[in-house]
Structure 1
Amino acid sequence: MKKFDKDRLLLAAAGPALALISAFVLTMIVLAASGVDPIDPLRIMIDQAGYEDVQVLIVNQAGIYFLAALAVAIGFRMNLFNIGVDGQYRLAAMVSAVVGAKVALPGPLHILLIVLVAMVTGAFWSGIAGILKARRGVSEVVSTIMLNAIATSVIAWLLLPKNLGVQPAGSNDLTTGDIPESGWFPALSLPGGDIYGFTFVAFALGVVYWFVLNRTRFGFDLRASGASESAAQASGVEPKKMIMTAMLISGAVAGLTGMPLLLGESHTYNLSFPLGIGFTGITVALLGRNNPVGILFSAFLLAFIDKSSAGLDQNGYAKEIGTIMQGLIVIAVVVSYELVRRYGIRRQQQKVGEELAAGHALKTDSKEVAA
């Protein structure tokens, strides 16, 4: 049994390790083929990460990626592919920013209201895909992609000055108005800048995710339904109910993705609010294998690439090298995990064959002794 657990642990670590090594090698090959020094850009990125202000940026970005990845991972554990995290997070940030700017409450209550509105909005938007999946069998991949596009249009419409938007004087930007200081989440001030206070809430949610998934009946039902819907149904679990529950929770966590930035820095939703966070969260969740510790390291890795690559253009290199690295990580993750999965199956088959052979030999020896 111990040997089996050891093999399983090695296989679990082999996927991310092979993906990172493959992505690094492929990046070096691409840069060399383009006539660019393959080593110097990486050295520059490592040097950039040594600056205190860049370190703060990396931590803040990692918290955002961590929340997006948790939202994706919740769906993955139910065998649901929630690609709509990006739309859910942006719509939730926009609606909660509007409410936060319109309401005046004491500090803690103001922050709590904004957070609850974000969670409810994200859950509502993902719940649409959940209903379509549970009631009509519509693929959540298709519905969430469509809902991303619809969310973009809804946000653009709501941001019009005639609706909920505010256009600052002398600016072409559209915002939701500024959230009063009572709705700002306290930050941790360091020499390099302020770490968003909600970043620590994000990391704490990783502990909650692990506990609920591995130490509660609900977590067991969720994992069982994701592993085999028919087997879970036979044991008394309602698959449709679990689909809805998983999508609602995934959307609620997705709604929190924009809170570190909204409550910690921008204090408003505008046209420059970051896009694509949800899609990066898919990469982080895949690389971290839906494990909170793995997701944490993956979030910091992609945040490091994102923020440290910004200084490449100052040294004569295109900062898009970081984007290339992230794209190659996605490709490497898919290929590496499939290779490891196939090896794991062959390894299990080999072990079963060895055990059967050993059992046959033992039985033959027993007969010989008895004779």
Structure 2
Amino acid sequence: MKKFDKDRVLLGIAGPGLALVVAFLLTSVVLLVSDRDPFEPYQLMFQTAEFTDVQVNILNQAGTYYLAALAVAIGFRMNLFNIGVDGQYRLAVMLAAVVGASVELPAPLHILLIVVVAMLVGALWAGIAGVLKTSRGVSEVVSTIMLNAIATSLIAWMILPANLGEQLPGSNDLTTGQIAESGWFPGLAMEGGTIYGFTFVAFALGIVYWFTLNRTRFGFDLRATGASESAAQASGVDSKKMVLTAMLISGAMAGLVGMPLLLGQTHTYSLSFPAGVGFTGITIALLGRNNPIGIFFAALLISFIEKTSADLDQFGYEKEIATIMQGLIVISVVVSYELVRQYGLRRQQQKVGEELAAQARKNKEEVAL
């Protein structure tokens, strides 16, 4: 049985814990400098969260963010920085919506078709960055940023009525057409609304993510390649193949990010579909330390901040407080993790020194006897 490492658990909690404390304190300082009450906004946000409809919205948004963070985390575990999740997700959900609106199939097959198309498009778009990295050494950071911009322009062109889009009479919004009811994913009806059915799928994928990384040979090879590409190659792992595979899987996961909203509420893609989800996923993956449980709570936290801050302007507080708070969380995460890492190294060195000293004393006592 694996020995419980108390220090490792405490250090794992200390990083995000310190980041959150610092972020909330700095947000309070910003409010104080702005001549505002530094604590009332938090109280108002918790009061807002008491409404059941807000709770449902928080959970639904958390499911979307959870998928985005998993897509980012897969890359992180391979030492890849997939910044292109946002472009991959929007292009995937748009083409999946087009396909879903153009066919009518029995419910399970219709939903499956939409999901598969989304995963394939996401994987294909991320695979471009993977091929460029493995064949030409192009940094995935640069290529995925560029692919985000290309995806945005491509979507804007494809959704035109002359191409794949539709414009409803009397509306300036462009859509991809309505998906038939057979392509709707059933949800869980609650007092405050409906929890998207795909939200539960999202959380279940966290279990799949954990099992694959920690209990399979593929997961070991992936983590080994991310830790040391040369060492992985020496042990017989094809590092280039693993890089490309990781980008494909990350893109496929990114393709699922829009499914909770598409299959559970809008049933079409339009210009008002949320953007920036992929970048929020980076924040959540960092805060959750690429751990599925940590990512779950981080997704809930970010979703809570967003949904409960929407009405702050009614009380004289700008709702952009949530944006400031999220930005401070990102900065605090980077700083706090480095501080915790350095402390962990010192603590490890101290423990090794203590063990060596204890062994030396034991040897002396044996010699004296």
Displacement of 1:359: 2.3
Where does residue 168 of structure 2 map in the other structure?
168
Question: Is residue 2:210 matched to residue 1:221?
Answer: no
Deviation at 1:338, TM superposition (A): 0.7
Residue of structure 2 in register with 1:256 after alignment = 256
The residue that corresponds to 1:76 in the other structure is 76
State the match for 2:140 in structure 1.
Answer: 140
Within a 5 Å distance, the mapping from 1:290-329 to structure 2 comes to 290-329=290-329
Kindly tell me: are residues 3 and 35 of structure 1, through their superposed partners in 2, closer, same or farther at Cα, counting changes over 3 Å?
farther
Q: Determine the C-alpha separation between the residues in 2 that align with 1:260 and 1:220.
A: 30
Q: Which residue of structure 1 aligns with residue 36 of structure 2?
A: 36
For residues 4 and 134 of structure 2, what CA distance do their matches in structure 1 show? 37
Does 1:157 find its partner at 2:157?
Answer: yes
Give TM-score scaled by structure 1 length. Answer: 0.97
The answer on 1:88 being equivalent to 2:88 is: yes
1:272-299 deviation line (CA, Å, top 9, x unaligned): 0001000000000110000100000000
CA gap of 1:367–1:2, structure 2 versus 1, over 3 A, is farther
Q: Distance in 1 between matches of 2:26 and 2:38?
A: 10
Match of 2:12? 12
Cα distance in structure 2, aligned partners of 1:282 and 1:217: 26
Q: In the alignment, which residue of structure 2 is the partner of 1:119?
A: 119
The code of the aligned residue for 1:171 comes to: S
Work out the CA distance in 2 between the residues paired with 1:235 and 1:282: 31
Cross-structure match for 1:331: 331
Note the C-alpha offset of 1:133.
1.0
CA distance in 2, matches of 1:57, 1:367: 70
Q: Distance in 2 between matches of 1:49 and 1:11?
A: 30
Q: Distance in 1 between matches of 2:121 and 2:111?
A: 15
> Is the deviation greater in 342-351 or in 296-305?
342-351
Amino acid at match of 1:26: L
Amino acid at match of 1:85: V
Distance in 2 (alpha carbons) for counterparts of 1:118 and 1:333: 31
Q: Which one-letter code corresponds to 1:169 in the other structure?
A: P
Kindly provide the amino acid, as one letter, of the partner of residue 201 in structure 1: V
Residue in 2 that maps onto 1:354: 354
Q: Secondary structure at the match of 1:310?
A: coil
Matched to 2:156, the amino acid is A
CA RMSD of aligned residues (A): 1.3
Deviation at 1:4, TM superposition (A): 7.8
Counterpart position of 1:365: 365
- Report the TM-score when normalising by structure 2: 0.98
Name 1:64's counterpart in structure 2: 64
Secondary structure of the residue aligned to 1:105 is: coil
Deviations 1:122-148 (A, max 9, x none): 000000001111111111111111110
Unaligned runs of 5+ in 1: none
How far apart are the structure 2 equivalents of 1:238 and 1:2? 30
Q: Secondary structure at the match of 2:264?
A: helix
Deviation at 1:368, TM superposition (A): 2.6
Residue-by-residue CA offset, 1:26-68 (whole Å, 9 max, x unaligned): 1111111111101111000000000011001000000000000
Describe the SS at the equivalent of 1:117. Answer: helix
> Which residue of 2 is the match for residue 22 of structure 1?
22
Aligned to 2:204: 204
Query: Helix, strand or coil for the counterpart of 1:334?
Result: helix
Distance 1:257 1:283 in 2: 15
Between 64-73 and 168-177, report the one with greater CA deviation. 168-177
Residue number in structure 2 paired with 1:283: 283
What SS is found at the alignment partner of 2:225? helix
1:359 aligned counterpart, secondary structure:
helix
Q: Which residue of 1 aligns with 2:50?
A: 50
Q: Provide the rounded CA distance (Å) in 1 between the counterparts of 2:2 and 2:26.
A: 36
Take 1:2 and 1:263, find their aligned partners in 2: how far apart are those partners?
Answer: 42
Cα displacement (A) at 1:196: 0.6
How far 1:160 moved relative to its partner? Answer: 1.2
Alignment-derived partner of residue 247 in structure 1: 247
Distance in 2 (alpha carbons) for counterparts of 1:237 and 1:57: 43
Looking at structure 1, the residues matched to 62 and 359 of structure 2 have their Cα atoms a distance apart, in angstroms, of 51
Sequence identity of aligned pairs in percent? 74
Cα distance in 1 between the residues matched to 2:205 and 2:75: 16
- Correspondence for 1:100: 100
What is the alpha-carbon distance in structure 1 between the residues aligned to residue 309 and residue 185 of structure 2? 28
